[in-house]
Amino acid sequence: MLKVQGLHVYYDAIRALKGLSFSVAQGEIVTLLGANGAGKTTTLKTISGLLRPRGGSITLAGQALEGVEPHEIVRLGVAHVPEGRKIFSRLTVLENLKIGAYTRAASSVGEDVEIVFSLFSRLKERRRQIAGTLSGGEQQMLAIGRALMARPKLLLLDEPSMGLAPIIVEQIFATIQAINREGVTILLVEQNAAIALAISQRGYVLETGTVILEGEASALTHNDLVRQAYLGG
């Protein structure tokens, strides 16, 4: 479904991605692991059109994405939940969700709001609450819900567990699995390697902008390098 080949991305003179290549098949959950600065967030931003590569290719179901404007990439079926959530803090929960459907006809938006509320009952209870007053977990639910309003084929998730209590993390990841079961392919960036690999089919380990290790999630869980670096030994 998604193929990234030989991707080179720079921040001014600093090369952040160095010939990065990986793939995500339709229906998979795939995790990108790596230390801070490895290039994980840069990869997601480049796929969603927020950064432009200097070399390489990105294709979604055979269609080239490099050079396509971000809003058009959303129309093609890619939704991005960024690190730090980036909700509209002065708008209500419902207004945030409706903004997520900006590429779509208004007639079906109400139906999709109810689908999001079925996944995240807390949001339904707080639909008229100002988003900036929600808890961190509720804001993460809102960020994911807003992305789902675009009816994505591919969902990019950047650090969904960041700053959240363990019980909320479990709820968020259970919902990610439920979203995947409904047919949405997921590319996940997550510091909590144990929970990320537990729900993924495959994973890639990044280091300074390139892939140093890849494999089935179960194999990576038992890999000595992964265990020492990301799973506490």
Res 233 pLDDT > 70 = no
Can you give the pLDDT at residue 104? 72
Higher-scoring residue by pLDDT: 105, 35 = 35
CA pseudo-torsion sign 101, 102, 108, 109: positive
The span from the CA of 78 to the CA of 71, in Å, is 9
Please state the domain extents for the chain: 1-77+152-233, 84-150
Res 178 pLDDT > 80 = yes
**In whole numbers, what is the pLDDT of the chain averaged over residues?**
94
The span from the CA of 109 to the CA of 186, in Å, is 22
Q: What is the DSSP string of the chain?
A: -EEEEEEEEEETTEEEEEEEEEEE-TT-EEEEE--TTSSHHHHHHHHTTSS--SEEEEEETTEE-TT--HHHHHHTTEEEE-TT----TTSBHHHHHHHTTTTS-GGGHHHHHHHHHHH-HHHHHTTTSBGGGS-HHHHHHHHHHHHHTT--SEEEEE-TTTT--HHHHHHHHHHHHHHHHTT-EEEEE-S-HHHHHHH-SEEEEEETTEEEEEEEHHHHHT-HHHHHHHS--
Query: pTM for the complete prediction?
Result: 0.93
How, if at all, do strands 2-11 and 14-24 pair? antiparallel
Can you give the pLDDT at residue 182? 94
> Which of 185, 168, 153, 150 lies closest to 25, judged by CA?
185
The span from the CA of 152 to the CA of 47, in Å, is 14
Q: Which two tokens stand for residue 3?
A: 């193929």
Superfamily of domain 1-77+152-233: P-loop containing nucleotide triphosphate hydrolases (3.40.50.300)
pLDDT in tens, 77-112: 999 999 988 899 999 999 999 999 887 766 678 889
Q: What's the distance, CA 222 to chain centroid?
A: 24
% the chain with pLDDT above 90: 87
The type of residue at 200 is: S
